[in-house]
Amino acid sequence: MAKELKDLTKRAENYSQWYNELVVKADLAEQSAVRGCMVIKPYGYAIWEKMQQTLDKMFKQTGVQNAYFPLLIPKSFLCREAEHVEGFAKECAVVTHYRLKNDPNGNGVVVDPAARLEEELIIRPTSETIIWGTYKNWIHSYRDLPLLCNQWANVMRWEMRTRMFLRTAEFLWQEGHCAHATAEESEARTVQMINLYAEFAEKYMAMPVIKGVKTANERFAGALNTYTIEAMMQDGKALQSGTSHNLGQNFAKAFDVTFVNKDNQQEYVWANSWGVSTRLMGALIMTHSDDNGLVLPPYLAPIQVVIVPIYKNEEQLNAINEKVQPIVERFNEMGISVKYDNADNKRPGFKFADYELKGIPVRLVIGARDIENGTVEVMRRDTLEKETLPLDNIENTVNKLLGDIQNNIFQKALKLRESKTYIVDSYDEFKQRIEDGGFVLAHWDGTTETEERIKEETKATIRCIPLDGDSTPGTCIFTGKPSKQRVIFARNY
């Protein structure tokens, strides 16, 4: 059984297969009976809940309130903002009927043709349209602004090729929708939220990200500007991990949302929206995990410490139980989540493999000899290093170790990214670097045409124009035309 748990494809063999297997073997998620939709299993959901709680607190600290808007959107709403419908409306789940009836032929139930909706409803792929349709009633005066709402919700996009967490037909996310009195305020909020996402990614997920702006081609449908955070996975591919869109007055105009300003003049409202999704679970898994399974940052691990007893008889187990109980209590008091696994229906070897696979950051093993010596074996999941340490004051030792692990996996991911980031000035080298995997900093002439030709030839896209990047001008790697600054090219998830 322990062997089966460990029977995980190696990253070097097949990174993609390693990921797919790990998601299932670590009990994070699985395919459902509905094409492209996944079931998020309790262990995976517990990680997502930790992300949610952390983000929700961060949002609220900036004045954002939660609300809830309808799942279904009238078809006509999607057409109100012209660019938006081009970008979103096509691949989506369409509700056309509201009733089933018994099959006259006796084969279960069939759709009742008499219950056809006058106007079809779409399962939200994103909620700008329904929310701005609602904001029309909420916003009248500058006193009603800013309006800072977020919702935690499920959304649906009928993706053809799906992968668990990374691209699923239904996924969970949060979408913030803010309304402001001025363009400046709205831009400031757009930037504030991408900064917040970057802080969350780096501090809690231990995942280094690059903040940047999307090119016109990669922008959200209907946005003036899209900010992004881009992370590098271990295979050198990019994963877009969060976006924040400055929507200008496009949705206000489409839904006629105006306000009376302090000078008593009618103006259109300024909008932005921003979101992260269960895709972050994919990013988390691929950033840190290894050939033994999941590696979780301590801040997001549902179980931070597991304690496993090793015993030959009940007497020994009782002695260990007695010693461990007060330690468990002290962990609880410190807010460290701990599991004492003294279940006797699984062997220690099985437990070790399972907790490694599940990425529990710290494992303590206590045997009869340890009780005698006042020691405990401590293993850290990130390096798999074991040490025998005094049992005395173990909770503080572990607390410090959790901080070390959080920091270490961030540094490790950062080093990987740095080692696979290349400044490139020739198209030949560009093609090779892209083929090998990594971020390529290259000059680009600023045209969509060049961007698309490079994509066709190399499958690399412009991930972003980095905010903190070198802004020295140069010449385009593909056309030789002038370039304002280097941008980041990579293949991506």
CB of 117 to a second copy, least distance (A): 9
Q: Which of 5, 47, 139, 153 contacts a second copy by CB under 8 A?
A: 153
The reply to whether 78 sits near a second copy by the rule CB under 8 A is yes
Q: Which of 51, 84, 132, 133 contacts a second copy by CB under 8 A?
A: 133
- Please give the order of strands across the beta sheet that includes 362-367: 338-340, 305-310, 362-367, 375-380, 386-390
Nearer of residues 78 and 441 to a second copy, judged by Cβ: 78
The reply to whether 21 sits near a second copy by the rule CB under 8 A is no
Q: Which of 111, 183, 384, 423 contacts a second copy by CB under 8 A?
A: 111
The reply to whether 207 sits near a second copy by the rule CB under 8 A is no
Per-residue tokens: 93: 């789940």
Say how many C-beta atoms besides its own lie within 10 A of residue 373's C-beta.
Answer: 12
Kindly give the pairing relationship between strand 362-367 and strand 170-180. unpaired
CB of 284 to a second copy, least distance (A): 16
- Name the phi and psi angles at 139, rounded to 5: -115, 120
**Of the candidates 169, 167, 37, the residue with the CA atom closest to the CA atom of residue 93:** 169
The reply to whether 471 sits near a second copy by the rule CB under 8 A is no
The reply to whether 345 sits near a second copy by the rule CB under 8 A is yes
Interface map 156-175 toward a second copy (x if CB under 8 A): x-x-----------x-x---
Task: Locate the DSSP E strands across 429-472.
Answer: 439-443, 461-466
The reply to whether 459 sits near a second copy by the rule CB under 8 A is no
The reply to whether 90 sits near a second copy by the rule CB under 8 A is yes
- CA angle 171–174–180, rounded 5-degree value: 145
**Of the candidates 48, 45, 335, 59, the residue with the CA atom closest to the CA atom of residue 199:** 59
Per-residue tokens: 279: 């895709």
Interface map 302-341 toward a second copy (x if CB under 8 A): ----------------------------------------
The reply to whether 342 sits near a second copy by the rule CB under 8 A is no
Cβ contact 238:261 at 8 Å: no
The reply to whether 41 sits near a second copy by the rule CB under 8 A is yes
Task: Locate the DSSP E strands across 168-237.
Answer: 170-180, 210-213, 225-232
CB of 476 to a second copy, least distance (A): 34
Nearer of residues 228 and 278 to a second copy, judged by Cβ: 278
The reply to whether 34 sits near a second copy by the rule CB under 8 A is yes
In the region spanning residues 234 to 263, those forming contacts with a second copy, defined by CB under 8 A, are: none
The reply to whether 70 sits near a second copy by the rule CB under 8 A is yes
Cβ contact 439:489 at 8 Å: yes
Pairwise CA distance, residues 314 & 333, whole Å: 28
Segment lying near a second copy (by CB under 8 A), choices 86-94, 202-210, 245-253, 282-290: 86-94
Per-residue tokens: 234: 């271990």
Say how many C-beta atoms besides its own lie within 10 A of residue 21's C-beta.
Answer: 15
Nearer of residues 74 and 469 to a second copy, judged by Cβ: 74
Nearer of residues 91 and 291 to a second copy, judged by Cβ: 91
The reply to whether 120 sits near a second copy by the rule CB under 8 A is yes
The reply to whether 221 sits near a second copy by the rule CB under 8 A is no
CB of 97 to a second copy, least distance (A): 4
Peptide bond into 70 cis (omega under 30): no
The reply to whether 72 sits near a second copy by the rule CB under 8 A is yes
- Name the phi and psi angles at 255, rounded to 5: -115, 10
Nearer of residues 72 and 391 to a second copy, judged by Cβ: 72
CB of 106 to a second copy, least distance (A): 11
The reply to whether 143 sits near a second copy by the rule CB under 8 A is yes
Pairwise CA distance, residues 128 & 247, whole Å: 10
Interface map 349-388 toward a second copy (x if CB under 8 A): ----------------------------------------
CA 177, 181, 183, 188 torsion: positive or negative?
A: negative
The reply to whether 49 sits near a second copy by the rule CB under 8 A is yes
Segment lying near a second copy (by CB under 8 A), choices 9-17, 83-91, 219-227, 316-324: 83-91
Pairwise CA distance, residues 233 & 73, whole Å: 35
**Of the candidates 242, 231, 237, the residue with the CA atom closest to the CA atom of residue 490:** 237
Pairwise CA distance, residues 292 & 7, whole Å: 9
Number of residues that bind a second copy (CB under 8 A): 62
Pairwise CA distance, residues 226 & 243, whole Å: 7
Segment lying near a second copy (by CB under 8 A), choices 9-17, 88-96, 420-428, 434-442: 88-96
Segment lying near a second copy (by CB under 8 A), choices 35-43, 281-289, 311-319, 471-479: 35-43
Pairwise CA distance, residues 115 & 153, whole Å: 28
**Counting beta carbons within 10 angstroms of the beta carbon of residue 464, is it exposed (0 to 12), middle (13 to 18) or buried (19 or more)?**
buried
Cβ contact 150:176 at 8 Å: yes
Q: Which of 17, 62, 99, 457 contacts a second copy by CB under 8 A?
A: 99
- Residues binding a second copy (CB under 8 A): 30, 32-34, 37-42, 45-46, 49, 65-79, 85, 89-101, 108-109, 111, 120-123, 130, 133-134, 137, 143, 149, 153-154, 156, 158, 170, 172, 345
